Structure 1
């Protein structure tokens, strides 16, 4: 691949950033997208849950609690939201040779809903029936204490998904994911150090050399 400022992709690429809250994946996703855009690559930035109808329902659970919503309904909302995202955003971007950087994807659904008692393997399989498998899944992991410190500093209060014993189960599921598309990122270091890990992985995927 060309390493100059007018780089072109020979196909679309999908990079998903995953991990529990407080691991810095949102910050790192923005830094990665900035880096790729500076290299002249066409980048589409996405996040899930989306701002669509189903995503907004999910976000209300995050801030207000589950209320009368059953775990089965909640899981279906995630699937509905992702189907819309795939149809409206992800596939069109990939089909036009763009690089999609997405903050959370179906691995998060498998980990968080899996910690509620669903089968994470089945959740992944159900999603992969309609959702493209990422070229790289960057799973950010570090100490739970560090993640909680970052959450506490970053905003007021914790969401309904951010209870310590629950997040321990979520992290264990993230740790169980395997495959050639999976890469582990140590999230406990400085922002710059973690960004360096991310760039190394993505440069290798895209065949990017040092900037000229």
Structure 2
């Protein structure tokens, strides 16, 4: 879950009129209703229309929606020529500066962890030098939910490259789904546990042992690839060792989307705990060897896939893992070449710090490893006092 993860930044990116502002405002109102122990502040930018036509934008201070100041107005409606211009609009950065002074005071006086909403980090806003400085000097403990616009300003480009952000691409097609998908990043009744590791660490064996444990009868056990149509095709192509990398990646994404919509998201909302044998971390680690852009793979998946509550990473050297694979008298699959597994292991090391995770030594006996994992999961399932 985002609020309990190492991440401090949720960015909603998308083209103009994709629904970013509507989504952020929806999340703000919903989160506010939960009475979470955070101090909420920030601003949103609302369109101003006249006779159905957009004539400008207003800044709305979220702690007092009656406090509204114009951010931009059609140049044809602006009598003075002293204001900076963006396209057909005159922009009033001094009004954003006034809102920022109030928000900065909020953050200074906050008696609870601050949760800051910004709509948006965009072309108009970066005309304010105070806004740029405000973002550059945000304290590390401030959790930020922001919409991120397009543009080539250095600040916009830098924020699009922040690796630690939870980054969701908003489109007219997915914006309604994202309302429900992002809710579980701020409150979820269930828990999502994920077993990860390179081939040969004993992950699937441990998974089966846990599945057969009667003390976990309330746990939902699932795995990826799934047994759905996309998952079945994936397994067949992998076993045949002749799959096109792009086709594999598209199948992994399609299979996971179906998994999230049909099982993972409904279970989390109903309060069911889930244990997965592999999740999108595997896609980033494995397919990342072929496509190299880990950030893009991560963002593609995290747009629709909820963050896990805990990643249990079974750690084993590549040499030991391959020895186990060979001892099973199995032929090497696409994913069991030494050089390839070294790259996969490296990719895991790159992304694990982005998640709440526990690293367990997979060289231990199965019984010992099973006992450690069982206790770990049980500790997370105990009711909070």
CA drift at 1:155: 4.8
Determine helix, strand or coil for the equivalent of 2:290: coil
SS at match of 1:15: strand
- How far did 1:180 drift? 4.9
How far apart, CA to CA, are the structure 2 residues paired with 1:85 and 1:180?
Answer: 20
How far, CA to CA, are the matches of 2:279 and 2:372 in structure 1? 20
Alignment map for 1:1-212 (pairs within 5 Å): 11-35=189-213, 37-38=214-215, 42-67=218-243, 69=244, 71-176=245-350, 177-207=352-382
Distance, in Å, in 1 between the alignment partners of 2:329 and 2:306 is 32
Whole-angstrom distance in 1 between the partners of 2:275 and 2:355: 18
Change (3 A) 1:94 1:131: same
Segments of 4+ in structure 1 off by > 4 A? none
Q: Which has the higher contact order (CA 8 A, sep 6+)?
A: 1
Give secondary structure in 2 for the equivalent of 1:110: helix
- 1:86-132 deviation line (CA, Å, top 9, x unaligned): 11111222222211111010000000011113322221221111111
Q: How many residues align?
A: 195
In structure 2, the CA distance between the partners of 1:171 and 1:118, relative to structure 1 (3 Å rule), is same
CA 1:33 to 1:13, structure 2 compared with 1: closer, same or farther past 3 Å? farther
Larger Rg computed on CA atoms: 2
Instruction: Specify which structure has the higher proportion of helix.
Output: 1
Cα deviation, residue 163, structure 1: 0.6
* Greater displacement, 144-153 / 11-20: 144-153
- Give the alignment's Cα RMSD to 1 decimal: 1.9
Within 1, Cα distance between the matches of 2:195 and 2:338?
21
Q: Which of the pair is proportionally richer in strand?
A: 2
**Cα pair 1:139 1:174 within 8 Å, conserved:** no
1:80 partner SS: helix
- 1:46 and 1:102 in contact (8 A); partners too: yes
Kept in 2: contact 1:42–1:99 (CA 8 A): yes
State the Cα deviation string for residues 149-208 of structure 1 (Å, max 9, x = none): 222233531211111100000011112221351111110110012123212322332237
